[in-house]
Structure 1
Amino acid sequence: MGMPVTVKGQVTIPKPIRDRLGLAPGSRVVFDIDPDGKVVLRKSEAPAAHQEDRFNRLIGCGTALRGMSTEEIMRLMRGDDDSDL
């Protein structure tokens, strides 16, 4: 049984495959095409640490932002603040 493609060209990666590749929300994948036409899905190498840390460290951390002003949160999201959460 195949997976349906949405109108946006999206396909759900089955959980056993996500688990096997170590994919989590926010992970990036690469599609390679073999000479015989097979498509290979693999986990992408992590982006530069600055880019990843700036956004990914906030995933699921809503409570860490409590008490911060909007301006402090915006500075953090822009990368103007190097402090750890």
Structure 2
Amino acid sequence: MPRVTSKGQVTIPKEIRDALGIEPGDEIAFEEGESGYTIRRKEPTTEERDDPFEKYRGSAASDETMPDRMRRLRGEYPREVGTEEDDDVEGET
């Protein structure tokens, strides 16, 4: 039987998490009903009740590798490779 910690935390049993599709990082909702509370996984939504990620679905189609994409998004791409500093080996003159 799960117990409430001093911080108000409860571990949801694995079989219930599996049945509800709850994964680490998911938000859950407690809804009051006539016979008590129910728990459900909350879907990510905006104020307009839309899925905030829907507009990005399928937009990752590219020939770029993930490391190349991340370098480009961070402003590191294209980076210079094989500069003179890279060619220097410690101890060589």
Larger radius of gyration: 2
Matched, 1:49 2:52: yes
Structure with greater helix percent: 1
Find the counterpart in structure 2 of residue 12 from structure 1: 11
The ranges of structure 1 where at least 4 consecutive aligned residues each deviate by more than 4 angstroms after the TM superposition are none
- Structure 1 counterpart of 2:38, which letter? V
Greater relative contact order (CA < 8 Å, ≥ 6 in sequence): 1
Q: Distance in 1 between matches of 2:33 and 2:44?
A: 23
Q: Distance in 1 between matches of 2:19 and 2:44?
A: 17
Residue pairs, 1:64-75, within 5 angstroms: 72=74
Q: TM-score, normalised by structure 2?
A: 0.48
Displacement of 1:46: 1.8
Report the number of matched residues: 58
- Structure 2 counterpart of 1:46, which letter? P
Q: TM-score, normalised by structure 1?
A: 0.52
Structure 2: 5+ residue stretches without partners: 46-50, 57-65, 75-93
Sequence identity (%): 37
- Structure 1 counterpart of 2:28, which letter? V
Q: Distance in 2 between matches of 1:3 and 1:30?
A: 18
